[in-house]
Amino acid sequence: MKRIALNGVGLLVALFAAFPVYWMIATSLKPNQEIFSATPRPVPVEPTLEHYREILTGNLIPGVTFVDFFLNSALVAVATVLLSGLVALLAATAVARFRFRLRTTFLILLLVVQMIPLEALVIPLFLMIQRLGLYNTLPSLILTYLGFSLPFAVWMLRGFVAAVPKELEEAAAIDGASRAQTFRRILFPLVAPGLVATSIFSFITAWNELIFALTFVNDQDRYTLPVAMTFFFGRDDTAWGSVMAASTLFTLPVIVFFLLVQRRMVSGLVAGAVKG
């Protein structure tokens, strides 16, 4: 009876969490007369793809389409994931495997950085981006998101690297493997679950961020998707059908990315390696 009650509660929580997503998708498939009906229905009576057709074929601004904004966001997010994964893995390996001065201070600073509100960093980062000559470029967003995702990534990967027994690396060294081969063939596969977890965090950070994307980029053809979403909201009215269709397309890459990497999120790889 207790198990049935727990399963029932879990089902209710899952339905509560999934309902906004369902409503977003259902609204994107409704024609305007159903969306603004006095008695809205949870299921589209006459489903249509007109809203998707409008945002994919039309221009949100002169000469720029929804696909252009999508590609800008994809470029920024993928670059952030790759760079943060590489830098964080090297930094986490150094922190976990080597002893050096101010090592503990460095780890504490990683946590302190996470406590600073992003809004407080807009002006100093804007001035820094200007001095570097990166204003109004996508690399400015990549570097900014890289700075935000690295503290979390380094801190998490440090635990994964420290959990890998040193005996595995020593055995590889005895067998004649170099440091680079040991890192590539021993350490990297065992730390892959942590690398996947941090890549998801980095991807979501770069994909969803709005404030810096709106501040550091001036040309509209270089805007990312979060900025493009604001174009659907007018002063007098809002195109809710287009908003929901765009939001659905905006959400899909995160879901697809998670589905692609979820198989690697297995924390038992280290234990299996030790037992083998």
Considering the segment(s) 64-268 as one domain, its CATH architecture is: Orthogonal Bundle (1.10)
In the chain, % helix, strand, coil (3-state, to 5) comes to: 75, 5, 20
More confident residue, 126 or 39: 126
What's the rounded Cα separation, in Å, for the pair 128 and 121?
11
What's the rounded Cα separation, in Å, for the pair 199 and 178?
27
Look at the pTM and tell me if it is higher than 0.85.
no
**pLDDT one-digit tens code per residue, 25-82:** 888 888 888 888 777 788 888 888 888 888 888 766 777 888 889 999 999 999 999 9
Confidence category of residue 20, pLDDT binned at 50, 70, 90: confident
Contact by Cβ (8 Å): 190, 269: yes
What's the rounded Cα separation, in Å, for the pair 190 and 208?
29
**pLDDT one-digit tens code per residue, 129-186:** 999 999 999 999 999 999 888 888 888 888 888 888 888 877 888 888 787 888 888 7
Given a cut of 80, whether residue 99 has pLDDT beyond it is: no
**pLDDT one-digit tens code per residue, 188-232:** 888 888 888 888 888 988 999 999 999 999 888 889 999 888 887
pLDDT value at residue 267 = 46
pLDDT value at residue 269 = 44
